[in-house]
Amino acid sequence: MKFFIDTANLAQIKEANELGVLDGVTTNPSLMAKEGIKGKENVLNHYLAICDLVDGDVSAEVLATDYEGMVKEGLELAKLHKQIVVKIPCTKDGIKAIKFFTDKGIRTNCTLVFSVGQALLVAKAGATYVSPFVGRLDDISTDGIDLIARIVDMYREYDFDTQVLAASIRHTMHINQCVEVGADVATCPLSAIEGLLKHPLTDSGLATFIADAKKMD
């Protein structure tokens, strides 16, 4: 399973990248706004800064909601850097825009996906990634991981190439569950990735090794 980090924070992207296990970055307008990025030029420069930090795919979301606007913005984003994947919301215009980009050989990530039916349309339009939101489904008492499992099964059944990118990952347990159901990618906050390292037996075992190592001086 690939690991993307879900943030526009350069320090966190750098820290995750230095672990050596990072495969890419996802952003969205809320994450960009959180970093105080304003104005088209600053937004584009921020995406370039992210691409400079990491080697993998960097999802950059269109702000337009109509087909023509998405196509115009997406073409600009795709031209910006070869690592950019154009992120598009799962709407009627969005699906049309994804098909447009697929036909042009431009990679896309379809966001705000909450059902198997939406994921079917996303794959048929040829998106590179589909982003079902795990945490936001859990927030409304609906099993987000179950949706990941059902989309993975459906894509396998019909042999779709679209990769299942589990988004809205809130904690480490979500990552473990994504592994179990066969997600292709999980995009996570840094804290959830770091949580994978935590085990009391690792800590106590290391403390013993350090103590015993002193006896070897």
Residues designated catalytic: 87
- Closer to ligand G3P at the Cβ: 63 or 207? 63
Residues within the interface to ligand G3P (CB under 6 A): 6, 26, 28, 133, 135-136, 167-168, 170, 187
User: What is the DSSP code (8-state) at residue 133?
Assistant: B
Q: How far is the CB of 212 from ligand G3P (least distance, A)?
A: 43
CA-to-CA separations, 41 to 35, 61, 72, 159, 178, in angstroms, rounded? 15, 15, 16, 40, 36
- Work out how close the CB of 200 gets to ligand G3P at its nearest, in angstroms, rounded to a whole number: 28
Closest to ligand G3P by CB, 69 vs 135, is 135
Task: Please say which residue, 68 or 146, places its beta carbon nearer to ligand G3P.
Answer: 146
Indicate the residue among 15 and 138 with the shorter CB distance to ligand G3P: 138
Cβ atoms of 60 and 87 within 8 Å: the answer is yes
CB of 145 to ligand G3P, least distance (A): 14
∠1-80-45 over CA atoms, to 5°?
Answer: 95
Which residues, listed in sequence order, are joined to residue 126 by a DSSP beta bridge?
Answer: none
Q: DSSP 3-state assignment of 24? A: strand
Q: Which of 89, 79, 149 is nearest to 121 (CA)?
A: 89
